[in-house]
Amino acid sequence: MIAFLLSVTAIIAYFCGSISTVNLTSNLIFHCDIKKEYPLDNLGITRFVKNFGIKGLAKFLGIELAKALVPLILGGILMGIVDHSDVGYAFAMFCMVLGINFPIMYRFKGSSSILAVAVGTFFIGSGVGVATLLVFAAVYFLTRYVSLGKLAATLMMCLTTFMTVDTPWVKYLVLLTALLIFIENRHSIVRLLKGKEKKYRYKKDISYMFDE
C-alpha cells in the first residue's frame, strides 16, 4: 500500500515539476516567448514588469505556486491514508524538485526550483519555512547573489529540519532535496568561488529612451 501511494505521489510531483511555467504562461497567458524576450536578468525582469505590470507578474507566480501546491497537498493526502502525511510532503517536494531540475520532456534541461522549495519547506514545518526564507532574504540583500542566497537557505532548511522534525525519512528526503539544489547550482558555485557570479539588482528600464 505504501509503495503504491509513494509511486502515485512520485508520478504527480515529478510531472508537475517537469511542466515549464515559462512555456505554459507564454502560450496561455502572455502569448509571447517570455523566456526569449524577457531573460532572467536585471533588464529582462524589469522589462517584463514594465510591459505586463504587477498583475502579469502575479499571474506568472500564481501558476508557479499552483504547480508547487498541487503535488505537495496530494502527497500529504495520499500518505495521510497510512498516517505519514509528513513523509508525503517531503517526498513530493523531492520528486517535484527532481522534475524541475531534470524534466524528461525537455531532455533533462531544467530550471530553478527556488519557489517550489520555498513552498515545500512550510509543509515540512512552519519553523523550517520561516527560517529558510529569512536566511535567503538576508543573504540576498547583503550580497545581491541569488544563488548564494539559495545555497545558504538550503543549508538552513537542512539544519532546522534536523532540529525540529522527528521523522527520520523526512530528514533523509530533505537531505536528498538539498543535494539536488546543490547540483542545480553547481555552475553558480564555481562562479562564486571564482568571483564571477553576477549580482542581481532591480533597475529601472530606460532603454525605451533610445528606441527609434
Cell of residue 155, nine digits: 543549508
pLDDT value at residue 133: 95
Note the pLDDT of residue 51: 82
pLDDT for 24: 84
pLDDT at 38: 79
Between CA 150 and CA 113 the distance in angstroms is 10
> Which positions ≥6 away from 162 have C-beta within 8 Å?
171
> How long, in residues, is the chain?
212
pLDDT for position 89: 96
**Parts of the chain with a pLDDT under 70:** 40-43, 201-212
Burial pattern 64-91, b for ≥16 Cβ within 10 A else e, equals bbebbebbbebbbebbeeeebbbbbbbb
Q: Are 177 and 93 in contact (CB under 8 A)?
A: yes
Dihedrals φ, ψ of 118, to 5°? -60, -45
